[in-house]
Structure 1
Amino acid sequence: MSGENDKIPFNENNYTHNINRDNERKLDRRGFMKTMVGAAGLFAVSTLPWGGVAAKELMGLGDKEYPHKKIADVKSVKVGDAVEFAFPGEHDSALLVRLSENKYVAYQNACTHLRCPVYWVKEEGDLICPCHHGKFDVETGAPTAGPPRRPLPEIVVKVDKGSIYAVRVKRYES
């Protein structure tokens, strides 16, 4: 009973007879790179509106006045002493230092290097970040030693009727 049914319907040396490659996509290096550049461009264009919104918001922060917040009474802060407070929000740590009878400075209390807390060291006359030995000039908030490169954001204060108030955060141009 030999006949047609005993024959193998394909060449025995071709083991890929059942794979149809006619409609297969080819993705070589050039095609892959084009796809990746296109995806990156699409991502960049899709983020532009949000970047514009963020830039607009950040540009207005320097002029934004917050509700005035009482820090302390003048008579409770001696010359050379510091007072910790929160401004502009309740989780934004800040530090007020009374430099003389009528001069007060205040800064956001986070090092501009890695956001560690900054402390007033009266004996040295500096604001110190203990994490990486950063120092800031108390008069200006500018870094004087260590890794910080940007000044501490200054908080504008005013004295009114025997009390010290935080008014706004002064932003610096980078």
Structure 2
Amino acid sequence: MKERNNKIPFPEDNYTHNINRDNERKLDRRGFMKTLVGAAGVFAVSSLPWGAVAAKELMGLGEKEYPHKKIADLNNLPIGDAVEFKFPGEHDDAILIRLGEEKFVAYQNACTHLRCPVFWVKEQGEMVCPCHHGKFDVETGAPTAGPPRRPLPEIQVEVNQGAVYAVRVKRYEA
């Protein structure tokens, strides 16, 4: 009679012989969380130089004076009229409004809601954003109607030798 083989073919106590137990769990929950925290730390540390550059730029915005830019001659700008110009950069639209003989206001004319252009409506004496019917006070740049919540950034101007010059952008303060 032949001898029967009643032996278990593998030394394990169950049939998980096809799993290499040494490599079964290379990354458990704790290891995953450690990896996640480590990656977040690496990203945070790598962004510090950019944050420092941004902070340095923001700290100097209030005092930053740009090269003076001539906007218009006084004799070419009647009281109540406005002129559009670019300041401080070539892509920064702005508007100058002459309110009186010696009174001028200038603002960046991108609405503080969704950056639509803001127009001077002389007949109504107000600045209007046609996108969502936003309105701004011409004296202060503060919103008076519509969805905008922040005032228009003011551009400080100077009158010199019969012309109006843009000097600096006034920093927005909450």
Q: TM-score, normalised by structure 1?
A: 0.86
Deviations 1:141-166 (A, max 9, x none): 11111111111111111111111111
User: Which of the two has greater strand per residue?
Assistant: 1
Aligned-partner Cα distance in 2 for 1:120–1:27:
64
- 1:73-112 to structure 2, matched below 5 A, reads 73-112=73-112
- Residue aligning to 2:157: 157
1:18 shift after superposition: 3.1
1:36 shift after superposition: 2.3
Aligned-partner Cα distance in 1 for 2:129–2:75:
28
Aligned-partner Cα distance in 1 for 2:141–2:82:
14
- 1:35-74 to structure 2, matched below 5 A, reads 35-74=35-74
Aligned-partner Cα distance in 1 for 2:99–2:107:
13
Aligned-partner Cα distance in 2 for 1:57–1:10:
69
Please identify, of 123-132 and 74-83, the stretch whose mean Cα deviation from structure 2 is larger.
Answer: 123-132
Deviations 1:11-63 (A, max 9, x none): 9x83x5333121331422x4433432332233223212211210111111221
Number of residue equivalences: 167
1:110 shift after superposition: 0.5
Aligned-partner Cα distance in 2 for 1:41–1:80:
56
- 1:109-124 to structure 2, matched below 5 A, reads 109-124=109-124
Aligned-partner Cα distance in 2 for 1:21–1:130:
68
2:66 alignment partner AA: Y
Distance 1:167 1:26, change over 3 A: closer
Q: TM-score, normalised by structure 2?
A: 0.86
Structure 1: gaps (5+ residues): none
Q: Give % identity.
A: 77
Runs of 4+ in structure 1 over 6 Å off: none
Aligned-partner Cα distance in 2 for 1:41–1:96:
47
Aligned-partner Cα distance in 1 for 2:19–2:61:
64
Aligned-partner Cα distance in 2 for 1:76–1:26:
74
- Residue aligning to 2:169: 169
CA RMSD of aligned residues (A): 2.3
Deviations 1:108-146 (A, max 9, x none): 111111111111111221111111111111001111111
